[in-house]
Amino acid sequence: MAKKNTKMRIFDVSIDLFSKYGYDGVSIRQIAKEVGIKESSIYNHYQSKESILESILSYYINEMLKEEAPVMQSRENLDMDFDQFYKEGSDRFILKLSEPKMMRITRIFLVESYHNEKIRNFVKEAIIGYAIKGWQDLFELMKEKRFIKKDADIKQLAESFYYYGLFLLYEHFIINYPEDDEKFLKDFEKRTTAHMKLLFNSVKIEDKGKNKDDKSNEESIRLEEENDYLKVENLVRDAFWNVYRPGAYEHYIVHNLREDGSFIEDLAYVMEKDNEIIGHINYSKGRLNLYKENRYGVDIKLNEGSKDAVVLGPIAIDSKYQKQGYGSRLINHTLRLARDMNIPFIFVIGDENYYSRFGFESASKYNFFLDGTDTNEENPFFMIKVFENKFKDIDYDKGIFHNPKVFYVDEEEVDEFDRNFEYKEKKVQEGQLEI
């Protein structure tokens, strides 16, 4: 399946055409011509043009729902500062919206809602109705937790916030079209954040016990500096110790990466709180080889593979600050930087339930597999975040990703390196990968 299958090509071409010429202005014949197939072949995959539209709208909702947190997990996340809480949700939404395909679909339903009843109902129920209900639930919870005043009009708050963002989308996609998308997204983030603060500040309950001049809870995300190295290595060591195996070697990887050609220095960030480093993240360049099976069943390596296939990690958060949203903010911040650096896609190896919230999906969807794993089975722990699919027009059967060589460490060398740190006992624990 390597080359994008016909159904996917029909889907993508339809999005492009509908966004340019409108749903009614595009025919099945035109779609077939752009895909390069016979008109009748479309009906092998979709019953009608309307069913193509339905699949596009369904795709949009499914993708956007991945980015709802922390709003839809607000009971757990509201314990963090509201500005941080809102920023995390905003970052996720904008990161997803910034994908070219999602931008085109947004224009389709905004423009077509004027005269297409199916799309109009979709916007009313799945977009506006669902979102406002979510914000109402959030504000109700904030009232319950006494973050906002008892007499605050919850419905009005939800509508006032959401309709402003919706107006900005209409302004961009209809009134100012074709304005630069990147410029709009930056402006969108600033304007919606300022609007939200205005609304929230009008109804919030002031914390009388908090000194407004106290900046001890401030946090910042910045590039790693040389004098951070030892602190970072201790942080990473502590965060991973006895988690996946007795002891840890992630801190040794972090140490070696800085002198390795695969290291992406511009994406090595630390998070500080109370002037202490509480988080760290790295990105590096691996290798993705593409293969095409010949008629004899032999895999032939293609030349189109990427030597700069970026992988996220290691990432570590101080144990005292885990499960409080700090890791999410660090990931979202650096993913946006990676996108701005024109990095087309990023791999990660980890918990699919966690990383899916940032738009990562199973790499096997693209027939990409981690070196050493079974290519006939899905590896849910091996995921990819695609900003731009560089391989959509390449006829390949599978891709094999190889981590940077620095990720493969010698246990004796790790033990020797570990002598530079305070002694910690290695323990065999349940849930480790190697026991």
In 91-210, where do the E strands start and end? none
How far apart (Å, rounded) are the C-alpha atoms in residues 318 and 128?
Answer: 39
The mean pLDDT of 84-107, rounded to a whole number, is 82
* pLDDT recorded at residue 69: 44
What would the two tokens of residue 185 be? 């997204």
In this structure, are residues 89 and 78 in contact, taking their beta carbons and an 8 Å threshold?
Answer: no
- The one-letter amino acid at 81: D
How far apart (Å, rounded) are the C-alpha atoms in residues 182 and 80?
Answer: 29
| 297 has a pLDDT exceeding 90 | no
Query: Is residue 295 very low, low, confident or very high in pLDDT (cuts 50, 70, 90)?
Result: confident
| 304 has a pLDDT exceeding 70 | yes
Helix (H, G, I), strand (E, B) or coil at 346: strand
* pLDDT recorded at residue 38: 93
* pLDDT recorded at residue 84: 63
Cis geometry, peptide bond prior to residue 344 (ω within 30 degrees of 0): no
| Cβ within 8 Å of residue 209, ≥6 positions away | none
**Mean pLDDT score of the chain:** 87
Of the candidates 342, 350, 361, 288, which has an alpha carbon nearest to the alpha carbon of residue 315?
350
The mean pLDDT of 358-369, rounded to a whole number, is 92
* pLDDT recorded at residue 79: 52
What would the two tokens of residue 347 be? 């791999």
> 345-349 and 306-317: which strand pairing?
parallel
Instruction: Estimate the crossing angle of helix 82-97 against helix 181-203, to 10 degrees.
Output: 160
| 266 has a pLDDT exceeding 90 | yes
In this structure, are residues 360 and 384 in contact, taking their beta carbons and an 8 Å threshold?
Answer: yes
* pLDDT recorded at residue 408: 94
Mean pLDDT lowest for which of 200-214, 337-351, 360-374, 387-401?
A: 200-214
Q: pTM here?
A: 0.63
* pLDDT recorded at residue 25: 93
The percentage of the chain sitting over the pLDDT mark of 70, rounded to a whole number, equals 91
* pLDDT recorded at residue 327: 93
Torsional sign, CA 38, 40, 45, 51: positive
The percentage of the chain sitting over the pLDDT mark of 90, rounded to a whole number, equals 55
- 386, containing H or E segment: strand 382-386
* pLDDT recorded at residue 100: 87
* pLDDT recorded at residue 211: 46
Phi, psi of 206 (to 5 degrees): -65, 135
Which of the pair, 435 or 75, is modelled with greater confidence? 75
Structure letter (DSSP) for residue 148: B
- 221, containing H or E segment: strand 219-223
How far apart (Å, rounded) are the C-alpha atoms in residues 344 and 340?
Answer: 10
| 240 has a pLDDT exceeding 90 | yes
| 226 has a pLDDT exceeding 80 | yes
| 54 has a pLDDT exceeding 70 | yes
| 1 has a pLDDT exceeding 80 | no
Query: Is residue 303 very low, low, confident or very high in pLDDT (cuts 50, 70, 90)?
Result: confident
- 4, containing H or E segment: none
Helix (H, G, I), strand (E, B) or coil at 384: strand
3-state secondary structure 249-318: CHHHHHHHHCCCCCECHHHCEEEEECCEEEEEEEEEEEEEEEEEECCCCCEEECCCCEEEEEEEEEEEEC
Radius of gyration of the chain (CA): 24
Which of the pair, 208 or 93, is modelled with greater confidence? 93
Q: How does pLDDT run across 255-264, given as a tens digit for each residue? A: 999 999 999 9
* pLDDT recorded at residue 215: 43
Of the candidates 23, 64, 14, which has an alpha carbon nearest to the alpha carbon of residue 357?
64
| 223 has a pLDDT exceeding 70 | yes
- The one-letter amino acid at 223: L
Structure letter (DSSP) for residue 147: S
- The one-letter amino acid at 420: N
Q: How does pLDDT run across 177-203, given as a tens digit for each residue? A: 888 888 898 899 889 988 988 888 888
Which residues are registered as beta bridge partners of 315? 281
| Cβ within 8 Å of residue 425, ≥6 positions away | none
- Residue where the block lists tokens 């055409």: 17
In this structure, are residues 116 and 54 in contact, taking their beta carbons and an 8 Å threshold?
Answer: no
